[in-house]
Amino acid sequence: MIKAQNMVRLRALTEMVLDSRLSDLRAKASQRQATIEKLEGLRAPTPMLDDAAGISDALAALNFQIWAEARRAELSQTLARQTAVWLDSRDHARQAFGKARGFEKLAEEIHLQRRPKV
């Protein structure tokens, strides 16, 4: 009886850990996706300057390109860090899932062993 109660408690604990790991994974994936979308926003085509554009327009376009390139580099580094954290979080969620399913199977086996045989 105590073994079954402990198994139920352990199963509940592993389910809580799994929920926590999955929540963390969703948060990391959301942060990573936001960075990807920011990078995609900076991939706008280079504005074409026509003959009517003055020197100030050309300087503004050049300054924007310099800024955008620096921002892309910064976001790329952020994305690399976020991807590493996301991969770690995914591995932790997989382990928690395996443990939760393992306790689920053990609980089923204990339940089947306790059933009266007909």
**What single string gives the DSSP state of each residue in 17-41?**
HHHHHHHHHHHHHHHHHHHHHHHHH
Phi, psi at residue 117, to the nearest 5°? -85, 135
pLDDT at 57: 81
Q: Tell me what pLDDT residue 45 has.
A: 72
In the prediction, which pLDDT does 18 show?
Answer: 95
- Per residue in 97-110, pLDDT (tens digit) is 999 998 888 878 87
- How many residues in total does the chain contain? 118
Q: What is the pLDDT of residues 34-49, one digit of tens each?
A: 999 999 998 877 667 6
Q: Could you identify the residue written with the tokens 């050049």?
A: 62
Residues of the chain with pLDDT under 70: 1, 46-47, 49-51, 116-118
Whether the predicted model's global pTM rises above the 0.85 cut: no
